[in-house]
Chains A and B, each alone.
Chain A
Amino acid sequence: MEIFVTAVTIFVLAIFVGFEIITKIPPILHTPLMSGSNAISGITLIGALYAAGIQESNITKILGLLSVIFATVNVVGGFLVTHRMLGMFKKKDTPK
């Protein structure tokens, strides 16, 4: 129970932090923000690593492998495409 209360505390505080830091985003950045935060949601990868590394049974290994693959696609694809998108915003200053 003790652990649960701590976890909920962290959860609630993080939600408030989330609300506070994203109040006034310019519309121009909505898409990169979405894909960037999407990449962060791939943090499930941490859980996937445990599932794949714990060698309990074949089922957990397979579930672990699948979750590692999907979460890695989410993380790698998400950060990379966000980087690509933001690169386009930067480029503009030079030719002008």
Chain B
Amino acid sequence: MELVSILNLSYLVASILFIVGIKQLAHPKTASRGNLLGALGMLIAVVATLFDQAILTYDWILVGVLIGSVIGIILAIKIQMTAMPQLVAVLNGFGGIASVFVAGAALQLSIPKYATAVNYQEIVSIVFSAIVGGITFSGSFIAFGKLQGFITEKAVRYPGDQLVKILVGLTAVGLGVYGCLEPTDESIYWILSGVSLLLGIFLVIPIGGADMPVVISLLNSYSGIAASATGFVLNNNVLIISGSLVGASGIILTQIMCKAMNRSLTNVLFGGFGAVATEMKDDGDFYSGKVKSTSAEEVAMLLDVARSVVIVPGYGMAVAQAQHTVRDLYQLLTARGIDVTFAIHPVAGRMPGHMNVLLAEADIPYDRLKEMDEINSTFENVDVVIVNGANDVTNPLAKTDPKSPIAGMPILDVGNAKTVVVIKRSLSPGFAGVPNPLFIADNCLMLFGDGKKATQEMITALKES
């Protein structure tokens, strides 16, 4: 058999492994195997490619793979589970910029040919790679910066921001069209890549931290589309197939997340939380004199007589690295015969399902985690709800105030429980920038403090009682 046929058959095997792998990733029992199948598919594709006759030397490849592997391994091993969304954003960005460079190299190779005949499939795909890859790279790094706190988490809005986005977008499209018409002018490609980078920045910077899960998922989808476009450049099926698989799965995840927040994608991309936040700045007045503050000892007394307890973890808990302390509290309460469950809002944390990962890291049993729809109707039978570092996902304004920026977002109805204890460092508003009337409800007690320290104090107080 010819070498080319063997190569293409290997790509087919790799594609099948990717499809089966992603399918298995969607089920808890098979997820781990699915990931390994994906990795195996990648290995097969890479090894097969290395045997291609078009590849003449291996030194640069070897150097690149070595450097990339070391960086990848270090990142993957060192990363804390709380920083997972940042890592995914960064890796995503790398995938995007790689597509830009590959398309750039392909253009280099093709320019001599274009003097006589232009291959339009190729040049259009190259230009498309530059735009999507560029947006993915800079957008992902802005998302990373926002999550890591390098850039303000708030939505950065300025007068005429939509117009700027449209203008930069049109510039990119214009340059893209020009690049297709004048493919021998290589500088256009790099100017276009630069403009696409700018576009990524302008697109993501006005989006607030609360919307980052959606943004990351969308950018993930873009990186797949960029890879697919590279496949059109190189006429390579495995790139087209796996790129579009990732593109489609990213879009579905994005949709699911938007639904969980009851917002449309356009609203996330062009509206954004925080846009109206300036109208409600009187937090001090809102809460003054109506908040009941409590102590760890008092909460311990409440817990001592409780029969059922629900813990609502939020990003505050994650930031405080409190998941292990929360697990200790869970074990202590369970040992005393108290029924303890965890209520997980679909967008708790900063990535969908992020909270599940954190609690899994702390060895909290899988069957104790309840999803929002499952637990919401049961809150009235719960004695104590402990909200640990969550704010917007428990804010009843989402249901009562149609003008609120979180209006319509499904929330955890913790207010229906007999007593709610909110662990929070201050009364500051969450990502959405709105005060939370839950905090001044009759059955709500505020336990001010760091999520980990406050939980630790509760454990100590419980043990002493």
Residues of A at the B interface (CB closer than 8 Å) are 3-4, 7, 10-12, 14-19, 21-57, 59-61, 63-93, 95-96
Contacts and interface: CB of A to CB of B under 8 A. Distances in A.
B39 interface: yes
Q: Which interface residue of A34, A49, A85 has the most chain B CB atoms within 10 A?
A: A34
Bin the interface of chain B by size: 35 or more
Nearest to B248: A18
B356 A7 contact: no
A56 B108 CA distance: 9
Interface string B215-249: 01100100110111011111111111111111111
Interface stretch (B69-77, B395-403, B408-416): B69-77
Interface string B352-394: 1110110011011110010100000000000000000000000
B25 A7 contact: no
B265 interface: no
Given A18-B245, A29-B31, A74-B91, A40 B108 contact: no
Given A4-B121, A54-B55, A79 B39 contact: yes
A67 B101 contact: yes
Given A37-B249, A69-B67, A86-B35, 20 more contacts: A11-B244, A12-B244, A25-B253, A25-B256, A29-B25, A34-B253, A36-B34, A40-B42, A43-B45, A43-B227, A44-B227, A49-B55, A53-B54, A66-B98, A68-B98, A70-B94, A71-B98, A77-B71, A80-B76, A81-B84
B356 A27 contact: yes
A84 to B, nearest CB: 6
A87 B228 CA distance: 30
Nearest to A23: B252
Nearest to B32: A86
A51 B102 contact: yes
A71 to B, nearest CB: 4
A63 B107 CA distance: 11
Given A10-B237, A51-B106, A65-B63, A85 B357 contact: yes
B407 interface: no
Interface of B: 18-19, 21-23, 25-28, 31-32, 34-36, 38-39, 41-42, 45-46, 49-50, 52, 54-58, 60-61, 63-65, 67-69, 71-73, 75-77, 79, 81, 84-85, 87-88, 91-92, 94-95, 97-99, 101-102, 104-106, 108-109, 121, 216-217, 220, 223-224, 226-228, 230-250, 252-253, 256-257, 260, 344, 346, 351-354, 356-357, 360-361, 363-366, 369, 371
B94 A46 contact: no
Contact of A56 (B22, B109, B231): B109
Nearest to B31: A86
10 contacts: A21-B23, A36-B35, A42-B227, A43-B45, A50-B55, A53-B50, A73-B94, A81-B76, A84-B76, A89-B357
A80 B42 contact: no
Contacts of A48: 64, 98, 101-102
B133 to A, nearest CB: 8
A22 B102 contact: no
A55 B56 contact: yes
Contacts of B28: 26, 28-29, 89
The 10 closest A-B pairs by CB, nearest first: A72-B68, A18-B248, A68-B64, A76-B72, A30-B353, A53-B55, A77-B72, A30-B352, A51-B105, A67-B101
Q: Which interface residue of B69, B220, B356 has the most chain A CB atoms within 10 A?
A: B356
Contact of A35 (B21, B64, B91, B248): B91
B179 to A, nearest CB: 17
B35 A55 contact: no
B56 A53 contact: yes
A47 B102 contact: yes
A52 B56 CA distance: 9
B109 A36 contact: no
A69 B242 contact: no
